[in-house]
Structure 1
Amino acid sequence: MDKSQSKAIKDAKSIFRVASGNFLEMYDFAVYGFYASFIAQVFFPSSSQFASIMMSFMAFGVGFLMRPVGAIILGGYMDKHGRRKGLLITLSLMAVGTLTIAVCPGYEQIGILAPVIVVIGRLLQGFSAGAEIGGASVYLAEIAPADKKGFYVSWQSASQQVATIAAGIFGVVLHYYLGDQIVSEWGWRIPFIFGCLVVPFLFIIRRTLEETPEFKARAHQAPKKLSAMLKNMVENWQVVVLGSLFVMMTTVTFYFITAYTPTFANRVLHLSRLDSFIVTAIVGLSNLFWLPVAGALSDKIGRKPILMVITFLNLISAYPMMYFLVHHISFTNLVIVELWFSFIFGSYNGAMVVGLSEIMPPQVRALGFSLSYSIAVAIFGGFTPAISTYLIHTTGNSAMPGIWLSIAALCSLLASWTLFRKGGVYHRRKESEY
């Protein structure tokens, strides 16, 4: 076996170790979104179904507000102490947050403490996730060969799709064998408990990670204090702002086609819960296909062509696709529309994530990536289910989430053009670093 084959095998093992831990981050968020209507009944009871679901989605969204805090603290920790140590911490915190929600008694048992505990669990999950995606993406970017960075980094998002598939399959099995009544009473807790049970295995797998050679080579250059890291970020504030807009489309689209789909399909389209979970599992499989394909393609033709084309396609198609769906409601049409948005998400994200890692200052790469990504999720993506529910409720137009998707596409289109134009941040960083 030659050196190139040996490195490929070693890198494949590292990708698996990173992705396996990243699986839990998305699994926990997906499960909460999938069971939001049941969580609303148990922890946020109200005489108004709209108010109850909105409170559940707001609790879902509030977890994302902790992401920038987690990005600063844990992202800074990774830049100072290493990617490996930071990824072990994020995994542990995510597990605690999930367990908190899984075992919390309902509102009928402990009153106002129930929603308070659930929100605390969501805050812990959000704090952890603030650096998980950034840490995993940066780790993969730093171990990848120069001509395969897009393909390597795409597996960070691909692992999240495995989580979406697993959560979707859980939903199908639970509703098929237990029925809606039992799932609404206590069965929804089973997927959360499963997430807790796999943590020890994921922790053992992730402990075997080696630190990246690039971090070791630059460790002496990294700012030693968090204040110095934040100063570096302030000096590069334009990159952080543009990076957040750059991420906007991927996070809005993703949480629409995963976390919001079960509620939208059941409450708005009046399809069965079983149908909605089947669609979600299909979407996860589609995402899993498109992400590495787009990542590899971006290594061949560059990031910019993919980013510009896909954002434009979403800009002009999001509302028409939603309009078609709500006026021609069927399981088949829901699958068609969701697969289109899956293609949009997977194609864009496959090129976007590696691009985001490449525009960040090397000394604070984990912090910069995590902060930009977390701001985008906190402001835009995490509240997509709540925003979509509100738009439909206030306008009476079930296709209105398409407008929100188009707004996100426009922001990311402009950010992509600015970052990747000739002489832009991407080109300057590539010329100075590579």
Structure 2
Amino acid sequence: MDRTKKKISPAKAILATTLGNGLEFFDLVLYAFFATYIAKAYFPASDPLVSIMTSFMIFGMGYLARPIGALVIGHYADKKGRKPAMTLTFLLMGLSTLVIGLTPSYQSIGIAAPIIITLARLVQGFSAGGELGASTTLLVEYAKPHNRGFYGGWQVSSQGAGNLFAAMTLVLLVNVMPAESVQDWGWRIPFLLGIVIAPIGLYIRSKLEETATHTWQATEDKAPKIPLIEVLTTYYKETLSGILLTIGGTIPHMIIMFYLPNYAISILKLDTGYSMLIGAIGGLITLIGGPLAGMWSDNVGRRPLIAGSRLAITLLIYPAFYLLSSYPSVHLMFAIMIVLSTINIIGASPSITILPEIYPRHVRTTGLSLVYSVAVGIFGGFSLSIATYLIKLTGNAAAPAFYVIAGCSLSLFAFIFIKETSKERLN
């Protein structure tokens, strides 16, 4: 590492990392909020339900590509550096999002349209799988031992920012444009915005100081040729525990942040504009609460907050869905979103921070990327479809709560192997 280079300030490190991650998540979740418009443009069918379900399936396929991105880009980050890996994911996400915004409709180019959209969505998932590991690792490695949770919380905060702005773009469009114009071309506008902001994010990220170069130079003989092998062998307990822990975070996040707004529209038949505001409220709470919850975990520990959050959601999620299905109203939906998203963020920040803390530096990005992307790819991406299927299977409008309860309960087994890390120095 060049020791003569002036070290970037903590504030700029946080800004540079989270800005790019927030933009990536903005691009990633736009699809979820605009799925109805995308369905009509690229997946037409005689039955509207088939059209929207196909659109949601493609949304889920993007998450299936995450583990591949995690392995490829995580390996690249551990071998070549966090900065170049983050730059690569930024470019891939921006280009794939641009493709979605520019691809002609099914009526214009036929079957080529859904094929292109599917490929673009797979590239988005590939990029997201590598982005989170590289950016979170860099944030945690920038931090001091006493404030790693605070730094890690900004990763979660950036995801909240992406959710907030994605939801608000839809609210803005439906309020300033005729419905026909939004469907014809207006929905493409948010997908094209990223290309304008991307150069700014890339410039800021270029000022980051690499956090791993000196480790490779000092341990070149010990560093594994393939980090994945060491993650799956030497650190198999940490990897399994990390996946279990992340399952309990990703399922509530997907159901609370993305499914509840769709649930309000499709099941409860509430106003579309207000339903999208519900998603924005969840994003705002995540944006503000991420660093605060991380700071709290620096003081009291990661494990108590994670376990407390999981237990609280397990106890409250079914009553929440039961109340909504029995007494549907916008006011009740807003209240439940505020309560559930607040509880969820309390466990989310320490969860994302503890994952890089359990691995040594030379395999840290690979380990974190693998754990997170496997859990999210398998259990998170299809949460919307699973929740809808449970309602159809049981005839119970509160049935999505069962999936959340199962995920949160399963995640508690992670505490068998994962110890408290908040007061320990990084390896």
- Are 1:121 and 2:124 matched, yes or no? no
Give, in angstroms, the shift of residue 431 of structure 1: 6.6
Q: Are the equivalent residues in 1 in contact too, given 2:14–2:151 (CA < 8 A)?
A: yes
Match in the other structure for 1:69 = 68
When residues 35 and 431 of structure 1 are mapped into structure 2, their CA distance, relative to the original with a 3 A threshold, is closer
Match of 1:362 in 2: 361
Asked if 1:52 is matched to 2:27, the reply is no
Given that 2:152 and 2:350 are in contact with CA atoms closer than 8 Å, whether structure 1 keeps it comes out as: no
More deviation in 300-309 or 172-181? 172-181
**Count of matched residue pairs:** 421
**Greater alpha carbon shift after TM alignment, 351-360 vs 176-185:** 176-185
Q: Where does residue 417 of structure 2 map in the other structure? A: 419
- Work out the CA distance in 1 between the residues paired with 2:324 and 2:386: 19
Matches within 5 A, 1:8-407: 10-212=9-211, 214-221=212-219, 228-235=226-233, 236-407=235-406
Give the direction of change, closer, same or farther, for the CA distance of 1:261–1:20 in structure 2 (3 Å limit): same
CA contact (8 A) 2:237 2:417 kept: no
Letter in 1 for 2:106: Y
Distance in 1 (alpha carbons) for counterparts of 2:366 and 2:167: 32
Offset at 1:50? 2.4
Of stretches 342-351 and 116-125 in structure 1, the one that deviates more from structure 2 is 342-351
Deviation by residue 1:78-116 (Cα, 9 ceiling, x = unmatched):
111111111111100101110111111111111211111
> Closer, same or farther in 2 for the Cα pair 1:148/1:176, shift >3 Å?
same
Any idea what the Cα deviations from partners look like across 1:217-244, whole Å, max 9, x if unmatched? 3444268998531220221233222211
| Pairwise CA distance, 1:292 | 1.4
- CA spacing shift, 1:314–1:201, aligned 2, 3 Å: same
1:294-348 deviation digits (Å, cap 9, x = unpaired)? 1001100111111111111111211111111111111111111111221122111
Alpha-carbon distance between aligned partners in 2 of 1:407 and 1:28, rounded to the nearest angstrom: 29
What is the distance in 2 between the residues matched to 1:39 and 1:364? Answer: 39
- In 1, the alpha carbon distance for the partners of 2:11 and 2:423 equals 25
Rate the CA distance shift 1:330–1:16 in 2: closer, same or farther, 3 A: same
Q: Name the Cα RMSD after superposition.
A: 2.1
What letter corresponds to residue 71 of structure 2 in structure 1?
A: I
> Deviation of residue 259 (structure 1)?
2.9
1: CA distance, partners of 2:378 / 2:93? 21
Q: How far is 1:191 from its partner?
A: 1.0
Q: Secondary structure at the match of 1:89?
A: helix
The aligned residue for residue 3 of structure 2 is none
TM-score, normalised relative to structure 2: 0.93
- Which amino acid letter does the alignment assign opposite residue 92 of structure 1? L
Question: Is the Cα–Cα contact under 8 Å of residues 54 and 389 in structure 1 kept in the other structure?
Answer: no
Give, in whole Å, the separation in 1 of the partners of 2:396 and 2:219: 54
Code of the aligned partner of 2:79? K
What is the distance in 2 between the residues matched to 1:396 and 1:37? 24
Q: Which amino acid aligns with 2:374?
A: I
Amino acid of the residue matched to residue 35 of structure 1? Answer: F
CA 15–395 in structure 1, closer or farther in 2 if over 3 Å, else same: same
Q: Residue 179 and residue 406 in structure 1: after superposition, are their counterparts in 2 closer, same or farther (change >3 A)?
A: farther
CA contact (8 A) 1:71 1:131 kept: yes
Worse-superposed segment, 70-79 or 356-365: 356-365
The more displaced of 229-238 and 306-315 is 229-238
**Unmatched runs of 5 consecutive residues or more in structure 2:** 1-5
1:51, distance to aligned residue in structure 2 (A): 1.8
CA 1:244/1:222 → structure 2, altered by over 3 Å: closer, same or farther?
Answer: farther
Instruction: Decide whether the 8 Å contact of 1:287 with 1:346 is kept in 2.
Output: yes
Amino acid at match of 1:349: A
What one-letter code is carried by the residue in structure 2 that aligns with 1:285? L
Distance 1:199 1:30 in 2: 17
CA-CA distance at 1:179 after TM superposition: 3.7
What is the identity, as a one-letter code, of the residue corresponding to 1:412? Answer: S
Amino acid across the alignment from 2:105: G
Comparing 118-127 with 406-415, which one deviates more in the overlay?
406-415
Deviation of residue 265 (structure 1)? 1.8
User: Could you say what secondary structure the match of 2:270 adopts?
Assistant: coil
Range 144-153 or range 29-38, more displaced: 29-38
